Structure 1
Amino acid sequence: MSAFTSVFASLVGSLADVLHPLFQTASAAAAIILFTGLVRLAVHPLSRAAARGQKARSRLQPQIAELRRKHGKNPERMQKAIMELHAAEKVSPLSGCLPSLLQMPAFFLLYHLFSSRSIGGEPNELLGHELLGAPLGGRWYDALAHGGVFGGQGWVYLGLFAIVAAVAAFSYGRTKQQLAANPMTPVTGPDGQALPGMGAMTQLIPLLSFATLITVAVVPLAAALYVVTTTTWTAVERAWLYRDLPAPGATAATAA
């Protein structure tokens, strides 16, 4: 981890130096936002592939419903038929997970970098960078100890919380609409019955957008900037990539 952290620290430092004439003391924060954008651009092709997979799964819903009706008394045959249908249409139920998984290393590197006092035996100079007076290595509870919620540092976090809440509300509405238009395929056990608790889990999925508020509150400010930037990117990207998914009621009308 230390070798990766050293290389990553050099990358962030170099970006901060390039951006310093424009952003001055906030150059490191700007570098983190730029780095996040570069990461998202790198995984964008996978996001597009995930969107194509989601649209393909949406088109397959009538066929899956027919397979469930046809093989309802034979759960093993039903699951096999559904898997064969996915394979024939070259649709992977897990394709949507890849973009998120590939972003995790960048987040953990940022978290480790701005949680470490030293890098390779040398003092971590990046901890001296700030965003509007809030240290990039600090957390929300540090800001609360220096002026409270409405102190100088507190306002930085209030701004981040406001952005996250707005993005979460937007994502919540879109996820509710998409689940209404394209219900998730129920997960069943060996007996063909839906696994207990899955219905409640489906209801909770749209609310997961608001969990980002907790993350922003407990991680270093640098990692919080990454989370806020990537979450906002995801909301905008999904709104664009999934803009032509059918609205609630459209699938049923088409099937009829």
Structure 2
Amino acid sequence: MSFFADLVADLADLLAPLFHGSAMAAAIVAVTICVRLLVHPLSRAAARGQKARAKLSPQIAALRKKHAKNPEKFQKALMELHRKEQVSPLAGCLPGLFQLPAFFLLYHLFSSSSIGGEANELLDHKLFAAPLGGRFADALGDGGLFGAAGLLYLALFALVAAVATFNYRRTKRQLAANPPVAPGAPGAEQAPGAGAMAAMTKFMPLMSFMTLFTVAVVPLAAALYVVTSTTWSAVERAFLYRDMPTGAGAMGAAAAM
């Protein structure tokens, strides 16, 4: 914890000539970008894996039909197909998992009053008028929604809402082009968990807006990480999945897992 705090503080000192009083906030954004750059190879691998799974959709459909009355055999055959084609169903989870340590470190750094037995000087830093260790509730209590800190949060909410809307529309288009196997549809009984998958996909497009809640409840420093990382993800996924197969592609493969 102390090492990470010193690292962020040293980076803020380097950025101080450019960002002055907001140098710590700029350092947090820079740390987020560095984390995303480190994770980017995993994101590219996840994109390649998802495209590969999409191409397997016809074979998965054939396996589902072949093992219509035996879900266990279908799952074994599906795992064998993934092994043969060297496709990992878990590859898409890795980029998110590798980012969690950085987020939690920032969260604890700006939630703790002391680090290594000494007063936490990071809490003295601000982004404009908003303390990096403060939350949206604190901003409302100090000047209200249209106070200096409140206006900063409004700007963050507007950015998050714009990114979430972009992700929402993109996810809706993907789901429309690649509808999951619905209960009662031909072949639905062969897909274990298909009913749960169909229900989840109805909620999936709205998940992007959960970031608004996160930004509202975590310290501002952690909120900056979330906003920067979410914006990066939207741009990155739009680039990496620009040639994603449609039709019975990505979502059809996902529904089979």
Scaled by the length of structure 2, what TM-score is found? 0.90
Query: d(CA) in 1 for partners of 2:195 and 2:164?
Result: 27
CA distance in 2, matches of 1:234, 1:106: 16
Q: What's the offset of the Cα at 1:247?
A: 4.2
Is the Cα–Cα contact under 8 Å of residues 177 and 248 in structure 1 kept in the other structure?
no
**Which of 116, 132, 157 is the aligned partner of 1:120?**
116
Quick check: 40-49 or 65-74, which moved more? 65-74
Amino acid in structure 1 at the alignment position of 2:221:
A
Q: What does 1:203-214 align with in structure 2 at a 5 Å threshold?
A: 203-214=202-213
Deviation >4 Å, runs of 4+: 183-193, 247-251
Q: Which residue matches 1:169?
A: 165
Pair 1:36 & 2:35 matched: no
Q: CA deviation at 1:78?
A: 1.5
Q: CA RMSD in A?
A: 2.3
Q: Show the 5 A alignment for 1:1-256.
A: 5-183=1-179, 194=193, 196-247=195-246
Shift of 1:36: 0.2
Cα distance in 2, alignment partners of residues 185 and 50 from structure 1: 23
One-letter amino acid of the counterpart of residue 69, structure 2: K
Within 2, Cα distance between the matches of 1:72 and 1:197?
18
Partner of 1:254: none
Letter in 2 for 1:201: M
Among all aligned residue pairs of Structure 1 and Structure 2, give the percentage whose two residues are the same amino acid: 66
Q: Under a length normalisation based on structure 1, what TM-score does the superposition of the two structures give?
A: 0.90
CA offset at residue 42 of structure 1?
A: 0.4
Aligned residues of 1:180 and 1:248 also touching (Cα < 8 A)? no
Task: Give the Cα separation in 2 of the matches to 1:44 and 1:200.
Answer: 31
Residue 204 of structure 1 aligns with an amino acid whose one-letter code is F
**Over residues 33-89 of structure 1, what are the superposed CA-to-partner deviations in whole Å (9 max), with x where a residue is unaligned?**
000000000010000000000000111111111111122122222111111111111
Q: Is the contact made by 1:177 and 1:247 (CA closer than 8 Å) also made in structure 2?
A: no
Select the structure with the greater relative contact order (CA < 8 A; seq sep ≥ 6).
2
- Counterpart CA distance in 2 for 1:218 and 1:84 is 44
Return the alpha-carbon distance in structure 2 between the equivalents of residues 186 and 11 of structure 1: 50
Deviation of residue 201 (structure 1)? 1.2
| 1:108 maps to amino acid | F
Q: Distance in 2 between matches of 1:195 and 1:115?
A: 41
Query: Would you say how many aligned residue pairs link Structure 1 and Structure 2?
Result: 247
Counterparts of 1:181 and 1:147, CA distance in 2: 47
Secondary structure of the residue aligned to 1:147 is coil
Unaligned runs of 5+ in 2: 251-257
User: Which one is further off, 169-178 or 208-217?
Assistant: 169-178
Question: Is the contact made by 1:139 and 1:221 (CA closer than 8 Å) also made in structure 2?
Answer: yes
Counterpart Cα distance in 1 of 2:226 and 2:191? 39
CA distance in 2, matches of 1:197, 1:100: 22
The offset of 1:184, in angstroms, is: 5.2
1:191–1:18 CA distance, 2 compared to 1 (3 A): same
Give the structure 1 partner of residue 254 of structure 2.
none
Asked if structure 1 preserves the Cα contact closer than 8 Å seen for 2:163 and 2:231, the reply is: yes
Contact 1:26 1:131 in 2 (8 A): yes
